């Protein structure tokens, strides 16, 4: 059935990631999900910030704008408003997306544009060689917190739910099959979709390793009766961290209009396809000039 093949997404660049990096499965799963959904590379645009994970779009064949640190989401929003036909996937890290880009994160949740936000959360700053991040656990020892961090970690899942996100999920680099499914669901979701990915940094995070996550994660799909549309239930699962970490779609709200659906001008179709013809607005221009007389 599917016409789009994985080779179409095959990049030519060699990655700079460390062997075993949790970013490798993310790269593969994004491509797999897009192929599964029969979306061709020219129909997709990715944005990213700065950090190891933000190099991801370079390692596949796809439209992309690799911006500066923390700024993936607003660039994605601008692209979406200019051409809402695109499947827009914004990639960020944890420091990138929840720290320096934290303000953009909460406001994007409120706006509900149809953008998939994949946050590669390794709970550490990797590219700058091992400082603590906004998701580092309390007491985590790094070069900038030799006595352990003395601030609690941000909870991106709860924060997204409370600021209005309509799709909030968590998956793990340790389970690519699960990740592909979650990404595919997120792409199909009408609205903003956060996927927080537990993504081990094999070089700088010696605590939150593949093994550490494996011992703790459990799938919400296996929880009988769990309904991600139940906000209260979702809120309870959002608080879970430590001994048990849920993965899967934690929260989903269906039916809320997307931001772009509510912009009057965009009801005529994507902005970039509307063209520009001064002749068409000639009469309006004359009326406009009269307003100043």
Partner 1 sequence: MQTTDISIKIGGEAGQGVESSGGGFVKALSRGGLFIFGNSDYMSRIRGGYNFYQIRASDSPILCHTSHIHLLLAFNEEAITQHKDEIVKGGAIIYDEDFKIDADSLKARGIQLFPMPLVKFAYESGADRIMANTAAIGTAVGVLEYDFERIAEVITQNFKRKGEAVVNANLNLARQAYTLAKEKYAKNFKFKVSPIPDPPKRMVLHGNQAICLGAIGGGCRFMSGYPMTPASTIIEFLSEKANQFGIVTKQTEDEISAILMAIGASHAGVRAMTATSGGGFSLMVEALGMAGSTETPLVIVEAQRAGPSTGLPTRTEQGDLEFVLHASQGEFPRIILTPGTIEQCFEAGWRSFNLAEKYQCPVILLTDLYLTSAVRSVDKTIFDFSKIPIERGALLDDAALDKLTSDYKRHAITDSGISPRAIPSHPKAVFMTTSDEHDEHGHIIEDAESRIKMMEKRMRKLELAVEEMRTPEVYGVKGAEITLIGWGSTYGALHESVDRLNEEGTKANMVHFVDIWPFPEERVTPLLKEAKYTLCVEGNYTGQLANIIRTCTGIQVDKRILKYDGRPFSADDILLRVKEEVRLHV
Residues that bind partner 1 (CB under 8 A): 13, 40-43, 45-47, 50, 55, 57-58, 61-68, 71, 74-83, 85-86, 103-104, 107, 263-266, 268, 271-272, 274, 276, 278, 281-282, 284-285, 288-289, 292-293
CB of 133 vs partner 1, minimal distance in Å: 20
**Which CB atom, from 42 or from 207, has the smaller least distance to partner 1?**
42
CB of 1 vs partner 1, minimal distance in Å: 20
**Distance from C-alpha of 234 to C-alpha of 40, rounded to nearest angstrom:** 33
CB of 140 vs partner 1, minimal distance in Å: 28
**Which CB atom, from 202 or from 271, has the smaller least distance to partner 1?**
271
Long-range Cβ contact pairs of 57-62 (< 8 A, separation 24 or more):
57/91, 58/11, 58/13, 58/15, 59/11, 59/13, 59/15, 59/27, 60/9, 60/10, 60/11, 60/27, 60/30, 60/31, 61/8, 61/9, 61/10, 61/11, 61/12, 62/9
> Position of tokens 């985590």?
140
> Per residue in 22-59, is it b (16+ CB within 10 Å) or e — as a string?
bbbbbbbbbbbbbbbeebebeebbbbbbbbbbbbbbbb
**Which CB atom, from 45 or from 198, has the smaller least distance to partner 1?**
45
**Which CB atom, from 72 or from 123, has the smaller least distance to partner 1?**
72
Partners of residue 169 on adjacent β-strands:
195, 249
CB of 69 vs partner 1, minimal distance in Å: 8
**Which CB atom, from 143 or from 262, has the smaller least distance to partner 1?**
262
**Which CB atom, from 143 or from 274, has the smaller least distance to partner 1?**
274
CB of 275 vs partner 1, minimal distance in Å: 9
Q: Which of 236, 199, 201 is nearest to 220 (CA)?
A: 236
CB of 238 vs partner 1, minimal distance in Å: 23
């Amino acid at each position: 059935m599917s016409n789009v093949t994985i080779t179409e997404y095959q990049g030519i660049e060699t990655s700079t990631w460390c062997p075993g990096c949790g970013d490798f499965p993310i790269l593969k799963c994004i491509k797999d999900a897009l192929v599964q959904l029969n979306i061709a590379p020219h129909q997709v645009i990715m944005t990213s910030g700065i950090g190891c994970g933000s190099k991801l779009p370079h390692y596949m064949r796809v439209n992309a704008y690799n911006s500066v640190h923390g700024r993936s989401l607003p660039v994605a929003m601008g692209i979406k408003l200019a051409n809402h036909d695109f499947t827009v996937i914004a990639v960020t890290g944890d420091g990138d997306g929840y720290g320096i880009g934290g303000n953009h994160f909460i406001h994007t949740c409120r706006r509900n544009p149809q953008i998939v936000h994949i946050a590669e959360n390794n709970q550490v700053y990797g590219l700058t060689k091992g400082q603590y991040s906004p998701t580092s656990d309390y007491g985590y020892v790094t070069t900038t917190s030799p006595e352990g961090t003395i601030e609690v970690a941000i909870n991106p899942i709860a924060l997204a739910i409370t600021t209005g996100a309509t799709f909030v999920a968590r998956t793990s680099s340790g389970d690519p099959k699960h990740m592909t499914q979650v990404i595919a669901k997120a792409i199909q979701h009408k609205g903003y979709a956060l996927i927080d990915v537990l993504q081990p940094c094999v070089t700088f995070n010696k605590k939150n390793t593949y093994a550490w996550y494996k011992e703790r994660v459990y799938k919400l799909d296996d929880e009988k009766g769990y309904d991600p549309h139940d906000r209260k239930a979702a809120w309870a699962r959002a608080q879970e961290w430590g001994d048990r970490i849920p993965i899967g779609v934690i929260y989903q709200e269906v039916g809320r209009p997307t931001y772009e659906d509510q912009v009057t001008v965009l009801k005529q179709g994507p902005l970039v396809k509307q063209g520009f013809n001064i002749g068409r607005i000639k009469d309006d221009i004359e009326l406009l000039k009269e307003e100043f007389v």
